Every structure is written in C-alpha cells, then in structure tokens.
Structure 1
C-alpha cells in the first residue's frame, strides 16, 4: 500500500536526486527528507504545496487520495451516496463539495445518466 513517504521517495528517485539534494532544494536536511520518506514525519501544508509543485503532481496524489498524479479528488454527497470525482489538477476551478453536487445534478438535468456513470466508475476502480 502506498504512503506519502513511498510516493515522495519514488518521485525523488524519478528525478535522480539524493535525499541530500532534495533537502538542499527545499532547505531541509537529508535527515528531514529521510523522515518524510519513512513516514516518521510529515511536512507542513506550505511544504506539501512546494513538493507538489516541484514534482508537478497534485497534493491529492502525494497524500494517496488518488493514484493519478494529475488529478485532484473532490467528494460530494449525491442522493445520500458519497461520491468521489477526480478532476485534472490544472482545471482552473477549486470546487467545493456543494459545487460538485450541483455539477452532478446539472449533468443529470441535461440528460446524463449520472447514476450509470457513477456505477461504471466504481466498477473500473475495483478492477
């Protein structure tokens, strides 16, 4: 199972950086990077944003909320069901759960079979 530390380590290795080199980029020690990678410590919000920007991934990817490094995960409650929607990280809008719910209802109102789409997405996720 993935963790923040495992993802960070893989991203660092993909860039062929040592812990010391990554630490220098972010003004932290190599020990600090090692603690992040072993999940002994966790960076603060500001550092998390910097790491996501540096590696060009979403914060949701770093936090293991999605396996797609380019997606941001939104949750909403639609008709009593909690659903998750992944939207490309460069989509220019930060959506609230209410806005996701409104968007889904608008899709339903113009004829999309949203329930069928949700079921299909659930099946694909479990494959």
Structure 2
C-alpha cells in the first residue's frame, strides 16, 4: 500500500528536487525529510499543509485518502490561468519562459480562430 512517504518522494522527484533542496525549502534537516519519505518520521500537520501548498496538491492526496492530486474546486480549467504559472514542466522536463510563450501564443491563436468562427456562424 502506498503511503505518504512514497507520495512525498514522487512529488520531490517530479519537481526535480534533491533531498537537500526539498528539506531546505520546507525548513527541515535533510535527514528529517528523508525520514518522512521512508516513513520513519511522521510530519506534523503544519508540515503536511506546507508540503501540500508547495507541491500544489491536496492534503488528502498526501495522506493517501485520494489518488486525485488536487480538489476539483482548487483546479483551474482555464488554460490561460494554468499557463501563467512559471514552474511548469512536461513529464519532468522543465519548460522555459520562452517555450511557455510559444505555447500561450499558439493557444491564443486557436481561441481567436474559434471565437471568429462562432461570431461568423452567429451573423452568417
């Protein structure tokens, strides 16, 4: 059965962080963070909340109460809002701001085209 330690390890690796950098970010010793991942140590509720905020997942996901990383309410379905985040990656490969700019431009072109088609259908 998967536990919070495996979830923390997977999220750390997805975000391309070392044990040392993840520990520094959340304000604990490297050995403490490693203890969380091996489940030798149990993080406090404050730390669990901090991990959830940092990794952009729900506390329920970290505690293995759900396999859905975020609550539906917390997710934005607006691609423009989502792409405004600066720390995006594609399957673990970080996307530069320049690459995100190309993606945003491409999607904006599609949206403008669809909007024009919708307008033409309305009046044509």
TM-score (norm 2): 0.58
1:10-41 deviation digits (Å, cap 9, x = unpaired) = 00000110110001111111100110000111
Does residue 90 of structure 1 match 2:103? Answer: no
The structure-2 alpha-carbon separation of the partners of 1:89 and 1:52, relative to structure 1 and needing over 3 Å to count, comes to: farther
Distance in 2, matches of 1:19 and 1:29, equals 9
Could you list the runs of 5+ residues in structure 2 that have no partner in the other structure? 76-124
Q: Is contact 1:58–1:89 with CA below 8 Å preserved after alignment?
A: no
CA deviation vs aligned residue, 1:59-114 (integer Å, no higher than 9, x gap): 0000000000013xxxxxxxxxxxxxxxx2528xxxxxxxxxxxxxxxxxxxxxxx
Which structure ranks higher in relative contact order (CA pairs < 8 Å, sequence separation ≥ 6)? 2
CA-based RMSD of the aligned residues comes to 1.3
Q: Write 1 or 2 for the structure with the bigger share of helix.
A: 2
Q: Which residue of 2 aligns with 1:39?
A: 39
Q: Structure 1: 5+ residue runs without aligned partners?
A: 72-87, 92-127
Question: Would you identify which runs of 4 or more consecutive aligned residues in structure 1 move more than 4 Å?
Answer: none
Q: TM-score, normalised by structure 1?
A: 0.56
